[in-house]
Amino acid sequence: MTGLVFYLERTKGFYAAYNEMAAGVAVYFVLALAYQFWISKVEKNAKYLGQHPSTGSRIAIITSSPKATSEYNVTVYISDKSDKVVETQELKGNFTDWFNVNGFIVYDKFATAIASVVPTVPKKDL
């Protein structure tokens, strides 16, 4: 959407494409709002949803972070085939524990932390 608005502005000029650009910005706003709603309300901030191929048990990894803190919370739900939650594990830490200064995840540290609360993570995946 932003590429289209940029293209219109470059080809027609700002004033000639003002209405189209305003419509593009409005569409972008609606799409971004719908995406945020979907992530927070429908998927409930789930970062990973998986199912064991042979047993049918499911795992959901959900993260959250309170505003204005450096705390990062990870909640792991393990459920059986009937979607009944069998086990819930919580993992709390700081952003600096699992992310580097550029905001990228440090996989080794995070995988070790996840393996400490999820007993079914194979050692070969670490």
On whether both 29 and 6 belong to a single domain, the answer is yes
On whether both 34 and 78 belong to a single domain, the answer is no
pTM over 0.85: no
According to the model, what pLDDT value does residue 126 have?
Answer: 44
What does each C-alpha distance from 15 to 12, 53, 96, 120 come to in angstroms?
A: 8, 57, 47, 60
pLDDT digits (tens, 9 = 90+) for 71-103: 999 999 988 888 888 889 999 999 999 999 998
pLDDT digits (tens, 9 = 90+) for 117-126: 876 655 554 4
On whether both 57 and 115 belong to a single domain, the answer is yes
According to the model, what pLDDT value does residue 44 have?
Answer: 84
On whether both 8 and 56 belong to a single domain, the answer is no
On whether both 33 and 19 belong to a single domain, the answer is yes
On whether both 52 and 93 belong to a single domain, the answer is yes
- Domain extent at residue 83: 46-125
On whether both 67 and 103 belong to a single domain, the answer is yes
Number of domains in the chain: 2
According to the model, what pLDDT value does residue 12 have?
Answer: 92
How does residue 8 score in pLDDT terms, banded at 50, 70 and 90? confident
On whether both 16 and 67 belong to a single domain, the answer is no
Say how far apart CA 23 and CA 90 lie, in whole Å. Answer: 44
On whether both 51 and 99 belong to a single domain, the answer is yes
pLDDT at 104 over 90: yes
pLDDT digits (tens, 9 = 90+) for 44-61: 888 888 888 877 888 899
Q: Among 19, 125, 118, which Cα is nearest to 77's?
A: 118
On whether both 79 and 100 belong to a single domain, the answer is yes
On whether both 102 and 54 belong to a single domain, the answer is yes
According to the model, what pLDDT value does residue 124 have?
Answer: 52
